[in-house]
Amino acid sequence: MQMEKYERWFMYATVALLVAFFMAVLASIGEAGIHLPTQVASIDPNKVSETPPFDDPGVFETAENRYDAVIVAQTWQFVPEEIRVPKGAEVTFIITSRDVIH
């Protein structure tokens, strides 16, 4: 009889912990303003290197302390391989893939 009591409390604690984790995830999403991206456009994966802005990948300053990082991905590789921006800068990532349709 006593074992059922402990099992019940363990189940309550498990559910409470799961609810707390879920609420923490929701709070962090809301606080950070994270949202799923929308489909702005689609391009032919075979013509990535001919389609702007992916024909010239890199980091470009768009305003003071704001940058666009244009990146082309493919299996085991990113172009450019490394990007550098000043600490605290706001960066917008514009990314596509040559070999995987997302």
Domain ranges of the chain: 1-35, 45-97
pLDDT of residue 59: 95
pLDDT of residue 38: 66
pLDDT per position as a tens digit, 10-56: 999 999 999 999 998 888 877 777 766 666 677 887 888 898 999 99
pLDDT of residue 26: 86
> Cα 62–29–61 angle (5° rounding)?
10
Contacts for 70 with CB less than 8 Å, ≥ 6 apart: 53, 54, 56, 57, 58, 59, 60, 94, 95
pLDDT of residue 97: 87
pLDDT of residue 29: 78
30-39, 54-63, 79-88: which range is least confident on average?
A: 30-39
